[in-house]
């Protein structure tokens, strides 16, 4: 199995790229986020690879990070009805940290922004991966616990009220949760909702 490609970027197409390694060209299908992050053709490139083998096909899927590849595996192997095309569409729309946040918050609308992902599939993704998301949160790992509490409806009332207030002011639930999480560190765990809102707005104004 091929786990990584390191060579020269030969070409970039709509849904894949071509990597030249000692004269052999490898086609790797990628998310649009990965394709956008690639260097210009002719430059050195490294892609983490997931090899997909079927009776009639061998296909390589390329990712800019190991974390993105792990999310591809999670989606493919743990969510019924999610194949490679849908998994790539999700990773094209949401970065790994954003996907982890959306699952923790049970934000069905955020997950269903990906092309080809309807409400039912988004609900399935959130349900099947809610226990696994924290281990693959990446940059979101510091706030994932609080967001899970919010998503499951078990967060303390001051936190819930503060997040709701910030959402009512027009901030996304994820942004509001990040602000309240930061506010908790300065205001203290026993702060009431009004204090958390005040400190949260201060964080958002930075």
Model confidence over 80-123: pLDDT tens digits?
989 999 999 999 999 999 999 999 999 999 999 999 899 999 99
Q: Is the sign of the CA dihedral 194, 197, 198, 200 positive or negative?
A: positive
Which superfamily does CATH assign the domain made up of 156-204 to? Ubiquitin-associated (UBA) domain (1.10.8.10)
Instruction: Give which of 31, 59, 33, 61 is closest to 48, Cα–Cα.
Output: 61
At 103, list the tokens: 């699952």
pTM for this model (two decimals):
0.81
**What residue spans define the domains of the chain?**
4-63, 66-139, 156-204
Which superfamily does CATH assign the domain made up of 4-63 to? Nucleic acid-binding proteins (2.40.50.140)
> Which of 52-61, 63-72, 76-85, 118-127 has the weakest average pLDDT?
52-61
CATH number of 66-139: 1.10.150.20
Task: State residue 128 phi and psi, 5-degree precision.
Answer: -75, -30
Q: What value does the mean pLDDT of the chain take? A: 91
Q: Are 120 and 93 in contact (CB under 8 A)?
A: no
Q: How many CB atoms lie within 10 A of CB 152?
A: 12
Task: State residue 98 phi and psi, 5-degree precision.
Answer: -70, -35
């Amino acid at each position: 199995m091929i786990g990584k490609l390191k060579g020269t970027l030969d070409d970039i197409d709509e849904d894949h790229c071509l990597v030249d390694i000692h004269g052999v060209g490898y086609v790797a299908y990628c998310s649009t986020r990965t394709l956008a992050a690639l260097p210009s053709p002719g430059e050195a490139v490294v892609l983490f690879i997931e090899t997909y083998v079927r009776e009639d096909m061998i296909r390589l899927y390329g990712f800019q990070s190991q974390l993105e590849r792990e999310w591809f595996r999670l989606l493919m192997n743990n969510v019924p009805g999610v194949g490679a095309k849908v998994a790539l569409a999700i990773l094209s729309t949401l970065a790994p940290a954003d996907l982890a946040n959306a699952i923790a918050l049970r934000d069905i609308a955020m997950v269903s922004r990906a092309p080809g992902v309807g409400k039912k599939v988004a609900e399935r993704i959130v349900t099947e991966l809610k226990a696994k998301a924290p281990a693959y949160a990446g940059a979101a790992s510091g706030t994932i616990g609080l967001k899970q509490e919010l998503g499951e409806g078990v967060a303390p009332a001051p936190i819930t009220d503060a997040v709701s207030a910030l959402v009512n002011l027009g901030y996304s639930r994820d942004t509001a949760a990040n602000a309240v999480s930061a506010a908790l560190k300065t205001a203290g765990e026993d702060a009431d909702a009004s204090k958390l809102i005040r400190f949260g707005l201060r964080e958002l104004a930075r």
